[in-house]
Structure 1
Amino acid sequence: MNIDGLYTHDKMSLRQVVINYIYQAIIDKKYKPREHITETSLSNKLSISRAPVREALSELVAVGILIKVDRVGIFLNTITPAQVLDTYHTKGLVEGYLSNDFMREHDKEDIILLENIVTNMKQDILNDGENQIDIGTKFHKSVLKYSYNKVLLNTLDQVNIKSKLLFFENWSKLYSKQNIIDRHQVIIDSIKSKNAKKVERAIRDHYIQTGKKIAKLVEKNI
Protein backbone atom coordinates (compact mmCIF):
# COMPACT_ATOMS: atom_id res chain seq x y z
CA MET A 1 0.00 0.00 0.00
CA ASN A 2 1.31 3.42 -0.94
CA ILE A 3 1.10 6.43 1.36
CA ASP A 4 2.00 9.16 -1.10
CA GLY A 5 -1.35 10.76 -0.31
CA LEU A 6 0.00 11.77 3.09
CA TYR A 7 1.25 14.92 1.38
CA THR A 8 0.36 16.53 -1.94
CA HIS A 9 3.27 16.14 -4.36
CA ASP A 10 3.19 19.70 -5.65
CA LYS A 11 3.80 21.00 -2.14
CA MET A 12 6.04 18.21 -0.92
CA SER A 13 9.25 19.44 0.70
CA LEU A 14 12.41 17.35 0.78
CA ARG A 15 11.72 16.73 4.46
CA GLN A 16 8.33 15.30 3.54
CA VAL A 17 9.89 13.14 0.84
CA VAL A 18 12.10 11.58 3.50
CA ILE A 19 9.16 11.07 5.87
CA ASN A 20 7.14 9.39 3.13
CA TYR A 21 10.07 7.11 2.30
CA ILE A 22 10.46 6.05 5.94
CA TYR A 23 6.71 5.47 6.26
CA GLN A 24 6.63 3.27 3.19
CA ALA A 25 9.72 1.37 4.34
CA ILE A 26 8.07 0.63 7.70
CA ILE A 27 4.86 -0.52 6.01
CA ASP A 28 6.82 -2.72 3.61
CA LYS A 29 8.72 -4.20 6.59
CA LYS A 30 12.06 -2.93 5.26
CA TYR A 31 12.69 -1.44 8.69
CA LYS A 32 12.27 -3.54 11.81
CA PRO A 33 11.77 -2.29 15.39
CA ARG A 34 15.04 -1.05 16.92
CA GLU A 35 16.74 -0.98 13.53
CA HIS A 36 19.39 1.73 13.22
CA ILE A 37 18.42 4.47 10.75
CA THR A 38 21.17 6.88 9.71
CA GLU A 39 21.24 10.25 7.98
CA THR A 40 23.95 9.03 5.64
CA SER A 41 22.08 5.96 4.38
CA LEU A 42 18.88 7.94 3.75
CA SER A 43 20.77 10.78 2.11
CA ASN A 44 22.48 8.36 -0.26
CA LYS A 45 19.35 6.34 -1.07
CA LEU A 46 17.22 9.40 -1.82
CA SER A 47 19.96 11.64 -3.27
CA ILE A 48 18.97 14.33 -0.79
CA SER A 49 21.28 16.49 1.32
CA ARG A 50 21.56 15.61 4.98
CA ALA A 51 19.82 18.75 6.32
CA PRO A 52 16.25 17.78 5.27
CA VAL A 53 16.97 14.18 6.28
CA ARG A 54 17.94 15.43 9.73
CA GLU A 55 14.73 17.49 9.92
CA ALA A 56 12.61 14.48 8.97
CA LEU A 57 14.28 12.23 11.52
CA SER A 58 13.84 14.87 14.24
CA GLU A 59 10.13 15.15 13.44
CA LEU A 60 9.62 11.40 13.60
CA VAL A 61 11.54 11.25 16.88
CA ALA A 62 9.28 13.99 18.27
CA VAL A 63 6.11 11.98 17.54
CA GLY A 64 7.57 8.71 18.81
CA ILE A 65 7.93 6.74 15.59
CA LEU A 66 11.71 6.86 15.92
CA ILE A 67 13.77 6.96 19.10
CA LYS A 68 17.07 8.77 19.61
CA VAL A 69 19.74 7.23 21.84
CA ASP A 70 22.41 9.75 22.84
CA ARG A 71 25.82 9.09 21.31
CA VAL A 72 24.46 5.97 19.61
CA GLY A 73 21.98 7.06 16.95
CA ILE A 74 18.36 6.92 15.82
CA PHE A 75 16.32 3.73 15.75
CA LEU A 76 12.83 2.61 14.75
CA ASN A 77 10.81 2.71 17.94
CA THR A 78 8.77 -0.17 19.34
CA ILE A 79 5.21 1.09 19.72
CA THR A 80 3.39 -0.01 22.89
CA PRO A 81 -0.38 -0.56 23.32
CA ALA A 82 -0.48 2.42 25.70
CA GLN A 83 1.05 4.68 23.04
CA VAL A 84 -1.55 3.51 20.54
CA LEU A 85 -4.41 4.26 22.92
CA ASP A 86 -2.99 7.69 23.80
CA THR A 87 -2.53 8.54 20.11
CA TYR A 88 -6.06 7.64 19.07
CA HIS A 89 -7.66 9.14 22.16
CA THR A 90 -5.93 12.45 21.43
CA LYS A 91 -6.90 12.26 17.76
CA GLY A 92 -10.55 11.69 18.68
CA LEU A 93 -10.63 14.54 21.18
CA VAL A 94 -9.00 17.09 18.88
CA GLU A 95 -10.83 16.19 15.67
CA GLY A 96 -14.12 15.88 17.55
CA TYR A 97 -13.74 19.39 18.93
CA LEU A 98 -12.68 20.86 15.59
CA SER A 99 -15.56 19.16 13.77
CA ASN A 100 -18.02 21.31 15.68
CA ASP A 101 -16.94 24.15 13.37
CA PHE A 102 -18.25 22.07 10.47
CA MET A 103 -21.48 21.33 12.34
CA ARG A 104 -22.11 25.06 12.84
CA GLU A 105 -21.04 26.30 9.40
CA HIS A 106 -21.97 23.52 6.96
CA ASP A 107 -24.60 23.86 4.26
CA LYS A 108 -26.58 21.27 2.29
CA GLU A 109 -23.81 20.92 -0.28
CA ASP A 110 -21.33 19.99 2.44
CA ILE A 111 -23.60 17.21 3.67
CA ILE A 112 -24.12 16.02 0.11
CA LEU A 113 -20.34 15.87 -0.30
CA LEU A 114 -19.96 13.70 2.81
CA GLU A 115 -22.79 11.44 1.68
CA ASN A 116 -21.21 11.14 -1.76
CA ILE A 117 -17.94 10.11 -0.14
CA VAL A 118 -19.76 7.35 1.75
CA THR A 119 -21.40 6.32 -1.54
CA ASN A 120 -17.92 6.08 -3.04
CA MET A 121 -16.97 3.79 -0.16
CA LYS A 122 -19.88 1.53 -1.05
CA GLN A 123 -18.92 1.50 -4.73
CA ASP A 124 -15.32 0.73 -3.84
CA ILE A 125 -16.48 -2.34 -1.92
CA LEU A 126 -17.94 -3.72 -5.15
CA ASN A 127 -14.43 -3.58 -6.60
CA ASP A 128 -11.39 -4.58 -4.57
CA GLY A 129 -11.79 -2.13 -1.69
CA GLU A 130 -8.23 -0.88 -2.05
CA ASN A 131 -9.28 2.78 -2.02
CA GLN A 132 -10.99 2.66 1.37
CA ILE A 133 -8.17 4.47 3.18
CA ASP A 134 -7.93 7.27 0.60
CA ILE A 135 -11.70 7.73 0.64
CA GLY A 136 -11.75 7.76 4.44
CA THR A 137 -8.99 10.36 4.51
CA LYS A 138 -11.00 12.58 2.16
CA PHE A 139 -14.02 12.24 4.45
CA HIS A 140 -12.15 13.37 7.56
CA LYS A 141 -10.42 16.23 5.75
CA SER A 142 -13.83 17.43 4.55
CA VAL A 143 -15.15 17.47 8.12
CA LEU A 144 -12.34 19.88 9.00
CA LYS A 145 -13.28 22.27 6.19
CA TYR A 146 -14.34 25.09 8.53
CA SER A 147 -11.68 24.60 11.20
CA TYR A 148 -9.17 27.44 11.50
CA ASN A 149 -7.60 26.91 14.93
CA LYS A 150 -4.00 26.56 13.81
CA VAL A 151 -2.75 25.30 17.17
CA LEU A 152 -5.25 22.44 17.23
CA LEU A 153 -4.81 21.70 13.53
CA ASN A 154 -1.04 21.49 14.00
CA THR A 155 -1.58 19.21 16.99
CA LEU A 156 -3.82 17.00 14.86
CA ASP A 157 -1.20 16.91 12.10
CA GLN A 158 1.39 15.67 14.57
CA VAL A 159 -0.93 13.00 15.95
CA ASN A 160 -1.85 11.96 12.41
CA ILE A 161 1.78 11.19 11.61
CA LYS A 162 1.72 8.30 14.08
CA SER A 163 -1.94 7.27 13.82
CA LYS A 164 -1.89 6.96 10.04
CA LEU A 165 1.15 4.72 10.16
CA LEU A 166 -0.49 2.48 12.75
CA PHE A 167 -3.66 2.40 10.67
CA PHE A 168 -1.87 1.64 7.39
CA GLU A 169 -0.15 -1.33 9.00
CA ASN A 170 -3.35 -2.80 10.47
CA TRP A 171 -6.41 -1.48 8.63
CA SER A 172 -7.34 -4.73 6.85
CA LYS A 173 -7.63 -6.50 10.22
CA LEU A 174 -9.83 -3.92 11.93
CA TYR A 175 -13.25 -3.66 10.31
CA SER A 176 -15.38 -5.24 7.64
CA LYS A 177 -15.92 -2.99 4.64
CA GLN A 178 -19.58 -2.57 5.55
CA ASN A 179 -18.59 -1.61 9.07
CA ILE A 180 -16.33 1.12 7.67
CA ILE A 181 -19.32 2.59 5.84
CA ASP A 182 -21.57 2.41 8.91
CA ARG A 183 -18.98 4.12 11.11
CA HIS A 184 -18.75 7.12 8.79
CA GLN A 185 -22.52 7.33 8.44
CA VAL A 186 -22.73 7.69 12.24
CA ILE A 187 -20.58 10.82 11.96
CA ILE A 188 -22.81 12.30 9.24
CA ASP A 189 -25.90 11.63 11.35
CA SER A 190 -24.32 13.33 14.36
CA ILE A 191 -23.54 16.42 12.28
CA LYS A 192 -27.11 16.53 10.98
CA SER A 193 -28.35 16.50 14.58
CA LYS A 194 -26.64 19.88 15.16
CA ASN A 195 -25.78 18.65 18.65
CA ALA A 196 -22.18 19.50 19.54
CA LYS A 197 -21.92 16.78 22.18
CA LYS A 198 -23.12 14.13 19.72
CA VAL A 199 -20.58 15.23 17.12
CA GLU A 200 -17.70 15.15 19.58
CA ARG A 201 -18.79 11.80 20.99
CA ALA A 202 -19.26 10.23 17.53
CA ILE A 203 -15.79 11.21 16.34
CA ARG A 204 -14.11 10.49 19.66
CA ASP A 205 -15.66 7.00 19.75
CA HIS A 206 -14.78 6.50 16.07
CA TYR A 207 -11.08 6.80 16.89
CA ILE A 208 -11.05 5.25 20.36
CA GLN A 209 -12.62 2.06 18.96
CA THR A 210 -9.88 1.91 16.34
CA GLY A 211 -7.19 2.59 18.92
CA LYS A 212 -8.39 -0.28 21.10
CA LYS A 213 -8.38 -2.69 18.17
CA ILE A 214 -4.89 -1.68 17.06
CA ALA A 215 -3.61 -1.81 20.66
CA LYS A 216 -4.73 -5.44 20.90
CA LEU A 217 -2.93 -6.28 17.67
CA VAL A 218 0.22 -4.53 18.86
CA GLU A 219 0.07 -6.37 22.19
CA LYS A 220 -0.03 -9.73 20.39
CA ASN A 221 3.15 -8.86 18.51
CA ILE A 222 5.17 -7.72 21.52
Structure 2
Amino acid sequence: MEVKLFRVSNEHIKNQCYLIYEGNSGILVDPAWDYELINDFLQENEITLKGVLLTHYHHDHTNLAAAFAEKNVVPVYMSAIEIKEYGFTVQHLIAVQHLQEFVVDDFRITALLTPGHTKGSMCYWIGGHCFTGDTIFIEGVGISSELNVGSLFNSVQFIKQYLPAHTLIWPGHSFGQTPGKELNFLLKNNIYFLLNKKEAFIEFRMRKNQPDPFAFK
Protein backbone atom coordinates (compact mmCIF):
# COMPACT_ATOMS: atom_id res chain seq x y z
CA MET A 1 0.00 0.00 0.00
CA GLU A 2 1.25 3.48 -0.90
CA VAL A 3 0.26 6.95 0.28
CA LYS A 4 0.27 9.91 -2.10
CA LEU A 5 0.29 13.32 -0.41
CA PHE A 6 -1.38 16.24 -2.15
CA ARG A 7 -0.55 19.71 -0.84
CA VAL A 8 -3.45 21.97 -1.74
CA SER A 9 -4.54 25.44 -0.69
CA ASN A 10 -7.32 28.00 -0.79
CA GLU A 11 -6.33 31.54 0.12
CA HIS A 12 -4.76 31.30 3.61
CA ILE A 13 -5.61 27.64 4.28
CA LYS A 14 -3.15 24.94 3.27
CA ASN A 15 -4.23 21.32 3.41
CA GLN A 16 -2.75 17.88 3.15
CA CYS A 17 -5.09 15.40 1.54
CA TYR A 18 -4.17 11.87 0.62
CA LEU A 19 -4.66 9.04 -1.81
CA ILE A 20 -4.18 5.55 -0.41
CA TYR A 21 -3.59 3.16 -3.27
CA GLU A 22 -2.43 -0.29 -4.18
CA GLY A 23 -2.25 -1.53 -7.71
CA ASN A 24 -5.04 0.17 -9.62
CA SER A 25 -7.36 0.86 -6.67
CA GLY A 26 -7.38 3.88 -4.38
CA ILE A 27 -9.21 5.76 -1.64
CA LEU A 28 -9.11 9.52 -1.08
CA VAL A 29 -8.87 11.09 2.38
CA ASP A 30 -10.28 14.63 2.85
CA PRO A 31 -10.04 15.76 -0.80
CA ALA A 32 -10.20 19.54 -1.18
CA TRP A 33 -9.47 22.59 -3.36
CA ASP A 34 -7.53 21.22 -6.35
CA TYR A 35 -9.64 18.74 -8.32
CA GLU A 36 -7.35 18.70 -11.35
CA LEU A 37 -4.22 17.90 -9.33
CA ILE A 38 -5.83 14.91 -7.67
CA ASN A 39 -7.79 13.67 -10.66
CA ASP A 40 -4.79 13.96 -13.00
CA PHE A 41 -2.78 11.71 -10.68
CA LEU A 42 -5.58 9.14 -10.69
CA GLN A 43 -5.81 9.16 -14.48
CA GLU A 44 -2.08 9.20 -15.19
CA ASN A 45 -1.54 6.23 -12.89
CA GLU A 46 -4.71 4.42 -14.03
CA ILE A 47 -6.05 4.28 -10.47
CA THR A 48 -9.75 3.59 -10.03
CA LEU A 49 -11.25 5.43 -7.09
CA LYS A 50 -13.13 3.11 -4.71
CA GLY A 51 -14.15 5.46 -1.89
CA VAL A 52 -13.67 8.69 0.05
CA LEU A 53 -12.90 8.98 3.78
CA LEU A 54 -13.76 12.20 5.61
CA THR A 55 -12.27 12.97 9.02
CA HIS A 56 -14.72 15.79 9.85
CA TYR A 57 -17.20 18.16 8.26
CA HIS A 58 -15.10 21.34 7.86
CA HIS A 59 -15.09 22.66 4.31
CA ASP A 60 -11.31 22.50 3.91
CA HIS A 61 -11.57 18.72 4.35
CA THR A 62 -14.78 18.02 2.42
CA ASN A 63 -14.65 20.54 -0.44
CA LEU A 64 -14.26 17.94 -3.22
CA ALA A 65 -16.00 14.95 -1.65
CA ALA A 66 -19.18 15.47 -3.67
CA ALA A 67 -17.32 15.92 -6.95
CA PHE A 68 -15.34 12.71 -6.61
CA ALA A 69 -18.25 10.72 -5.19
CA GLU A 70 -20.62 11.71 -7.96
CA LYS A 71 -18.20 11.33 -10.86
CA ASN A 72 -16.87 7.95 -9.71
CA VAL A 73 -20.06 6.68 -8.03
CA VAL A 74 -18.23 5.69 -4.86
CA PRO A 75 -19.18 5.71 -1.15
CA VAL A 76 -18.18 8.51 1.20
CA TYR A 77 -17.52 7.57 4.83
CA MET A 78 -17.91 9.85 7.84
CA SER A 79 -18.52 9.49 11.57
CA ALA A 80 -22.20 8.98 12.39
CA ILE A 81 -21.86 11.54 15.17
CA GLU A 82 -20.37 14.11 12.80
CA ILE A 83 -23.23 13.63 10.34
CA LYS A 84 -25.88 13.96 13.05
CA GLU A 85 -24.31 16.92 14.89
CA TYR A 86 -23.57 19.07 11.85
CA GLY A 87 -26.07 17.88 9.27
CA PHE A 88 -23.41 16.98 6.72
CA THR A 89 -24.73 15.44 3.54
CA VAL A 90 -23.26 14.24 0.27
CA GLN A 91 -24.21 11.63 -2.29
CA HIS A 92 -23.44 8.00 -1.33
CA LEU A 93 -22.74 8.96 2.31
CA ILE A 94 -22.18 6.09 4.77
CA ALA A 95 -22.09 6.64 8.54
CA VAL A 96 -19.47 4.72 10.51
CA GLN A 97 -19.06 4.07 14.23
CA HIS A 98 -16.13 3.99 16.65
CA LEU A 99 -13.90 0.93 16.13
CA GLN A 100 -16.00 -0.19 13.19
CA GLU A 101 -14.00 -2.23 10.71
CA PHE A 102 -15.04 -2.03 7.09
CA VAL A 103 -13.59 -3.04 3.76
CA VAL A 104 -13.36 -0.88 0.64
CA ASP A 105 -12.18 -3.00 -2.26
CA ASP A 106 -9.07 -4.68 -0.76
CA PHE A 107 -8.48 -2.03 1.91
CA ARG A 108 -9.36 -2.97 5.49
CA ILE A 109 -10.12 0.16 7.50
CA THR A 110 -10.72 0.77 11.21
CA ALA A 111 -12.65 3.91 12.15
CA LEU A 112 -11.40 5.60 15.32
CA LEU A 113 -13.70 8.20 16.89
CA THR A 114 -11.50 11.02 18.22
CA PRO A 115 -13.69 13.97 19.26
CA GLY A 116 -12.26 17.27 20.37
CA HIS A 117 -11.70 19.34 17.24
CA THR A 118 -15.31 18.59 16.35
CA LYS A 119 -17.78 16.39 18.19
CA GLY A 120 -17.48 13.55 15.72
CA SER A 121 -13.94 13.83 14.39
CA MET A 122 -12.67 10.50 13.16
CA CYS A 123 -9.28 9.03 12.33
CA TYR A 124 -8.82 6.10 9.96
CA TRP A 125 -6.31 3.32 10.59
CA ILE A 126 -5.30 1.46 7.45
CA GLY A 127 -2.39 -0.94 7.08
CA GLY A 128 0.00 0.72 9.51
CA HIS A 129 -1.06 4.26 8.56
CA CYS A 130 -3.39 6.58 10.49
CA PHE A 131 -5.06 9.60 8.89
CA THR A 132 -5.87 12.06 11.63
CA GLY A 133 -7.46 15.12 10.02
CA ASP A 134 -7.39 18.03 12.46
CA THR A 135 -7.38 15.93 15.64
CA ILE A 136 -3.64 15.34 15.75
CA PHE A 137 -0.81 17.08 13.93
CA ILE A 138 2.83 16.05 14.01
CA GLU A 139 3.53 19.26 15.92
CA GLY A 140 0.42 19.47 18.13
CA VAL A 141 -3.35 19.04 18.12
CA GLY A 142 -6.27 20.80 16.49
CA ILE A 143 -8.21 23.84 17.59
CA SER A 144 -10.80 23.05 20.24
CA SER A 145 -13.41 24.81 22.36
CA GLU A 146 -13.77 24.94 26.12
CA LEU A 147 -16.61 22.43 25.83
CA ASN A 148 -14.65 19.97 23.68
CA VAL A 149 -11.05 20.26 24.84
CA GLY A 150 -11.52 17.58 27.50
CA SER A 151 -12.63 15.20 24.77
CA LEU A 152 -9.53 16.13 22.78
CA PHE A 153 -7.36 15.07 25.73
CA ASN A 154 -9.22 11.75 25.87
CA SER A 155 -8.73 11.26 22.14
CA VAL A 156 -4.98 11.80 22.39
CA GLN A 157 -4.78 9.32 25.26
CA PHE A 158 -6.77 6.81 23.24
CA ILE A 159 -4.48 7.13 20.21
CA LYS A 160 -1.42 6.74 22.45
CA GLN A 161 -2.77 3.52 23.89
CA TYR A 162 -4.51 2.02 20.87
CA LEU A 163 -2.12 2.44 17.96
CA PRO A 164 1.24 0.67 17.65
CA ALA A 165 4.19 3.05 18.11
CA HIS A 166 5.38 2.42 14.54
CA THR A 167 2.10 3.64 13.01
CA LEU A 168 2.67 6.41 10.45
CA ILE A 169 0.66 9.56 11.17
CA TRP A 170 -0.80 11.60 8.30
CA PRO A 171 -2.48 14.85 9.50
CA GLY A 172 -4.62 17.34 7.61
CA HIS A 173 -2.17 20.22 7.99
CA SER A 174 1.53 20.80 8.53
CA PHE A 175 3.19 23.43 10.71
CA GLY A 176 6.75 22.59 9.74
CA GLN A 177 7.24 18.87 10.32
CA THR A 178 7.07 16.32 7.52
CA PRO A 179 3.88 14.23 7.60
CA GLY A 180 4.13 10.47 7.78
CA LYS A 181 6.25 10.32 10.92
CA GLU A 182 5.85 7.41 13.31
CA LEU A 183 3.60 7.77 16.32
CA ASN A 184 6.74 7.11 18.35
CA PHE A 185 8.05 10.50 17.15
CA LEU A 186 4.95 12.24 18.51
CA LEU A 187 5.23 10.37 21.80
CA LYS A 188 8.64 11.96 22.26
CA ASN A 189 8.25 15.35 20.57
CA ASN A 190 4.59 16.45 20.56
CA ILE A 191 3.95 18.28 23.84
CA TYR A 192 0.29 17.24 23.89
CA PHE A 193 1.38 13.60 23.94
CA LEU A 194 3.61 14.36 26.93
CA LEU A 195 0.85 15.96 29.01
CA ASN A 196 -0.71 13.04 30.88
CA LYS A 197 -2.96 15.01 33.22
CA LYS A 198 -6.19 16.38 31.78
CA GLU A 199 -6.05 19.63 33.72
CA ALA A 200 -2.55 20.45 32.43
CA PHE A 201 -3.53 19.52 28.87
CA ILE A 202 -6.62 21.75 28.96
CA GLU A 203 -4.76 24.66 30.51
CA PHE A 204 -2.01 24.49 27.91
CA ARG A 205 -4.34 24.01 24.93
CA MET A 206 -6.58 26.91 25.97
CA ARG A 207 -3.78 29.29 27.00
CA LYS A 208 -3.69 32.87 25.79
CA ASN A 209 -1.30 34.29 23.18
CA GLN A 210 -0.95 31.05 21.23
CA PRO A 211 0.79 30.90 17.84
CA ASP A 212 -1.32 31.63 14.78
CA PRO A 213 -3.41 28.48 14.17
CA PHE A 214 -3.31 29.20 10.43
CA ALA A 215 0.48 29.42 10.16
CA PHE A 216 0.59 26.45 7.83
CA LYS A 217 3.77 25.34 6.12
Q: Classify the TM-score, shorter chain.
A: 0.3 to 0.5
Select the structure that is richer in helix.
1
Select the structure that is richer in strand.
2
TM-score (norm 2): 0.32
Structure whose alpha-carbon radius of gyration is higher = 1
